[in-house]
Amino acid sequence: MEQELKELLEKENNEFEYGQGILKSLLYYGSKENNFKLPTIEDFILSEVANGTIDHLTGNGGKIKYKDSSIDGSFSFVHPLWEYFRDEIKASKKKIDPRVKNAIIKMVHYRRIDPSGPDRPYPNTDLYDYFKSPWGVGFCHVTMRSSFSLSYEVINDIENKFLPLLSEPERGDIEGIGKCLKKYIHEDLEYIKKQYHW
């Protein structure tokens, strides 16, 4: 029983590290030509990853974006984005590495959290935990600015530790999807510049 629990925890740990590594790598390729600059708000990041992946697979990205939503607690954005993302993934004829595909599906998958107490229900995804986890395991620790740049340490880990461990198909798909994120990251940063004053 103890060995099974240990193996389960190790598997969960490895899945988290792989998923977070995929997210970091997607954002690395998506922001590479823009000084690795990204929004600090995780809903923008979710929108960019989902739409970049859809563009890579079907070319139909950009129909549901965070910046275009009437945002009332994110429910108006996260759930419809997930449904559209899921439908586009199913409709795609393009094949991508199954590990990469499953990791991205897992990070975009919508969950509704119903807290007990006075807090309202709220949406959650694995991407939120990878990016800015309340438990300190996320890699965006910036809170007082609306944008930030990937740190040298994160970039170094991606280039020298994470990507070299992957297969060629995994790396190729991550780079391809990451490049599709570029236009969404650029749009969001322009929007943030005009709309946000922090």
Where does the pLDDT of residue 89 fall: very low under 50, low under 70, confident under 90, or very high at 90 and above? very high
Beta strands (DSSP E) in 22-61 are 37-39
Share of the chain above pLDDT 90, in %: 69
Quick one: pLDDT band at residue 111, thresholds 50, 70, 90? confident
Q: What pTM was estimated for this model as a whole?
A: 0.90
State the pLDDT at residue 6.
Answer: 58
- Residue-level pLDDT at 34: 83
Identify the band that residue 73 occupies on the pLDDT scale cut at 50, 70 and 90.
Answer: very low
Residues facing residue 149 across a β-bridge: 37
Residues in contact with 157: Cβ distance below 8 Å, sequence separation at least 6, in sequence order: 24
Q: Mean pLDDT, the chain, as a whole number?
A: 89
Task: Report the amino acid identity of residue 159.
Answer: E
pLDDT one-digit tens code per residue, 11-64: 667 899 999 999 999 999 999 988 899 999 999 999 999 999 999 999 999 999
